[in-house]
Amino acid sequence: MPTETTAKRGRPGYDQQSVLRIAVDVFNRHGYDATSMGILAENLGISKSAIYHHVPSKGDLLKLALDHALGGLEAILDQPSATTGPADARLEFVLRQTIAVLVDRLPFVTLLLRLRGNTDIERDALERRRAFDHKVAALISAAREDGSLRQDIDPRTVTRLLFGTINSIVEWYKPGGSLSPEKLADDVITMAFDGLHTAA
């Protein structure tokens, strides 16, 4: 059942989702802390009071945006391909799906990755992100322990390099360009696993 917040239709010309998309773009350009309701209203072309027909506060917009990013990532770990089978196959599935979510929800994940933890909403989101990262790190360790990934590289280094590579996509990837999301995932997986798989 939709909550009162998500069920609100708001002012004519905008629904909550369109307000949210524009707000995320503004947060990414100016920074969440530096974005006032006045700046949001200016970018939306409506009055500040009109924004409150869509959401109770700027913080609610941030929470909706972060829930959209994190919900997509967290759902990956519940899929059968992430929970059954060899650890390296589960890891590859999770990494591919993480890239797919990142590309599909690029502005929202960009906002998530730029959080500073200055508010309770941000700190809660960062905690959820850390929990996701820890589960992926556990998959890396499991694949390393069963011998499907090389063991001469420190697992913490592997984890940081993989996350660093995937997270950097938000800074340079342009949806709709010559590099498709599928080819992007193929390239990242090839780079990672050709360097990590044990030699035949």
- Find the CATH number of the domain harbouring 107: 1.10.357.10
Please tell me whether residues 123 and 187 are part of one structural domain.
yes
The structural domain count of the chain equals: 2
Query: Which pLDDT score is estimated for 59?
Result: 94
User: What CA–CA distance (Å, rounded) separates 3 from 94?
Assistant: 30
Please tell me whether residues 24 and 97 are part of one structural domain.
no
User: What CA–CA distance (Å, rounded) separates 61 from 37?
Assistant: 11
Please tell me whether residues 73 and 164 are part of one structural domain.
yes
- For residue 52, what are the domain limits? 4-56
Residue 146, token pair as written in the block: 């069963």
Please tell me whether residues 34 and 67 are part of one structural domain.
no
Please tell me whether residues 17 and 72 are part of one structural domain.
no
Q: Which of 56, 79, 99 marks a domain boundary? A: 56
* Alpha carbons within 13 A on the beta-carbon side of 154: 4
- Find the CATH number of the domain harbouring 42: 1.10.10.60
Q: CB pairs under 8 A, 24+ apart, for 190-199?
A: 191/165, 192/95, 192/162, 192/165, 193/88, 193/92, 196/149, 196/150, 196/153, 196/158, 197/88, 197/148, 197/149, 197/150, 198/147, 198/148, 198/149, 198/150
Please tell me whether residues 161 and 116 are part of one structural domain.
yes
Please tell me whether residues 98 and 133 are part of one structural domain.
yes
Q: What pLDDT tens digit does each residue of the chain (200 aa) get?
A: 444 444 344 444 677 888 899 999 999 999 999 999 999 999 988 888 888 888 899 999 999 999 999 999 999 999 999 999 999 999 999 999 999 999 999 999 999 999 999 999 999 999 999 999 999 999 999 999 999 888 888 888 888 999 999 999 999 999 989 999 999 999 999 988 886 555 55
pTM: 0.85
Query: Which pLDDT score is estimated for 14?
Result: 73
Please tell me whether residues 101 and 183 are part of one structural domain.
yes
Please tell me whether residues 85 and 173 are part of one structural domain.
yes
Q: How far is CA 57 from the centre of its chain?
A: 22
